[in-house]
Structure 1
Amino acid sequence: MPIVSTQHIDVAAGCLPTHQLLNVDGKRIPDEELDHYLKDLKEADLADFLRDMVVLRRMDNEATALQRQGQLGLWAPLLGQEAAQIGSVRATEDDDFIFPSYREHGVAWARGVKAEDLLSVWRGAQASGWDPNEVNIACQQIVIGSQALHAAGYGMGIKFDGGKQVSVAYFGDGATSQGDVNEAMVFAASYQAPVLFFCQNNQWAISEPVHLQSRTQIADRAHGFGLKTWRVDGNDILAVYAATKAALNHARNGLGPTFIEAVTYRMGSHTTADDPTRYRKNEQLEEWKAKDPIDRLVKYLHEMGADVQSYEQRAQNAADELAAKLRAAITTMEDPKVEELFTNVYSEKHEPTERAARDYLGYLAEFEGGE
């Protein structure tokens, strides 16, 4: 894949501030707009955030290793984006409905999706993995940006029904250049639907740096559609949580759709089929390692005088337990039967699909008994 020269690109500063409530040294930074949304957070909640991020990082590492061992067909790593996912999803209400992309493994897991069900999709053992109505999160969307339209339509339904839920769409910086995302913001703004568009700006749309597709902040695009918009440090779990609370509150109270740009960094590859060393420099990784979301929260807990060692041990125990479950599940996971490829394609009897099934199964039967 060719590398596009970025030497002469001039990126405007953008019109929105980047909220940061916790700096890289774990120091708390007052924020007049967002501090209010942290008033109910207790030390125990912060310990839960730490546990969630540690477990999520372990799940991501295990899944990557399983793919390398041939147990998964593909995996989309989220290393470095733990705070953006956990901080935002923990701010939602249980009846808010979420529409994720293919990288929101942490969002799905925090919503109650079993980690082994997440992996089953990437193994090819299941078509979707879970029942969205049981956990109020749709199955992962591979087509880039399509979930934003789904979220906008769902939000319009909430508006027409007079509900108090919020529809939440997750996507990356690359998806903001897709027509679907922009059309979704148009419809959500036109109908003043309760939708939160959550963009994890991890700096890379596969091999394309974000400043090639956006000469200003991504948040400015949403601002141009008339959405109430926040831009936050995506590696600061407090800023992500507080901004998400603010955005959900705005949408829930009938004030229209909202948008959050969480500025983070994809520390791993785009997927396990990608080689990021071909298009980015190691110096960038070293720079972002210093902004690690887990280390930052640990430092903050130390600043608070918390018993960090016990919290870290609890998190490690939970991560070990999850890893053991994943290993056990992947070795016992049954492959789907060939005929299941044709089931549940249509809700009613569909002759072309049935004919295709007969033809394909007949073709496979020709090889039965052969060497």
Structure 2
Amino acid sequence: MAASTADLVREVREFVREEILPLEPAFLHHGFAAVLPALREKRQEVKARGWWLPPFPREWGGMGLGLLEFARLSEELGRTPLGHYVFNTQAPDIGNMEVLLKHGTPMQKERFLKPLAAGEIRSSFAMTEPEHAGSNPVWMNTTAVLEGDHWVINGHKWYTTGFEGSAFCIVMCITDPDHPNPYARASQIIVPTDTPGFQHVRKIAVMGEQGEDWMSHSEIRLQGVRVPKENLLGERGRGFAIAQERLGPGRIHHCMRWVGICERSFELMCGYAAKRELSPGKPLGSRQAIQHMIAESKAEIHAARLMVLDAAEKVERQGAEGARVEISLIKFFVAGVLQRVLDRAIQVHGGLGMSDDLPLSFFYRHERAARIYDGADEVHKTVVARAVLKEYGLEVSL
């Protein structure tokens, strides 16, 4: 890691510790709205320090960091549920920004990307449908038919992250149902959320919480939604290809954020084990079972970090397609490490770990989905195994 990057990581770590972590108790007990005014102030501080949108080009107000550099920063921001929002790198906005930057027309960049990059609006992304398995993305019912100068969209989506309060939604829909290649049947279309026929059905309660604002997931319906044909994002029929482009770097972002959560959980676990006494003069950390939890967590976190950084380096050299196996490896491996480290940290804390006095229970509820979204663990394991077996002469089809 270059000296300049190391200095930046150190400064951001201190900022997170001093400026963002103190907001967590109010957030955990009273919700996102309770800390939103303070978060807006922190966002302005980040802009003033020149840290806004770290992985985005400078001409769009970002820092221009490469994927590997941002991976180190993403770990620091992941130490708190509020970190990425303060730096405007929260999902799905950062993914939408990256796609708009690469595939958006000048009109789309001016109308949608510019205010999104400035943090003036939020966005959402709609792909998953309740009627079909998310592990088979080519199977969907949402359609867009070109009538004159407008796309007419009909469909049903859910787990549309951040829909509440978003200004627009990028919708994956079938535009060419008869194309012989099933991966060339879908397109992505930008739909302002105030378009007639765009209905918010409900926020989906996840692990007992509905969430707020960008931390929520929604079920939506599109009934006769009409948008100008100019709202097509990228080329017609390239919806899946564009989705894969965003998922490659996106998985690096996610995995390093998970490493940050692991580090935060590990620090809480070790601090508690060193101070909490089972009886006078007998701290938790004196017990071999606790020591093993600490050792196993330390090893797994270290391995996870190195794997993700290695994958990020390969993505920078060969692109997401060239690093496909490495991306799948980190997706299921780091998700598993995350779940195990969180479980150990909660176990060591006992009843305190289950409470909202610490962020552990929040992380546990919200990050169980890490083994599902962006491709379930089982899908990524299959990708890796097929690639390995191919080297031994065995071609395995889906």
Determine if the TM-score, normalized by the shorter chain, exceeds 0.5. Answer: no
Q: Point out the structure with the larger strand share.
A: 2
Give the TM-score taking structure 1 as reference length: 0.26
Q: Point out the structure with the larger helix share.
A: 2
Give the TM-score taking structure 2 as reference length: 0.24
